[in-house]
Amino acid sequence: MPDIKSSRIVVFTCNWYPAIAADNAGVVGRSYTDDCRIVTLTCAGHVTPATILDAFGSGAQGVMVAACKPELCHYMNGSSKCEGVVKETKELARLLGIGDERISLEAFDSEDVERFAACVDEFHSRIVSLGGVPVDRCPNPELK
140 occurs within a structural domain: no
30 occurs within a structural domain: yes
141 occurs within a structural domain: no
In sequence order, the β-bridge partners of residue 11 are 38, 64
Instruction: Provide the domain limits for residue 65.
Output: 4-134
48 occurs within a structural domain: yes
Per the structure, the count of domains in the chain is 1
Kindly report the CATH number assigned to the domain that includes residue 12.
Answer: 3.40.50
Rounded Cα distance between 138 and 122, Å, is: 31
Residue 7 CB contacts under 8 Å (≥ 6 apart), including other chains:
35, 61, 62, 124, 127, 128
Residue 35 CB contacts under 8 Å (≥ 6 apart), including other chains:
4, 7, 8, 9, 124
pLDDT in tens, 88-139: 999 999 999 999 999 999 999 999 999 999 999 999 999 999 999 876 555 5
Taking the mean position of all CA atoms in its chain, how far away is CA 57?
14
Range of weakest confidence among 3-17, 66-80, 90-104: 3-17
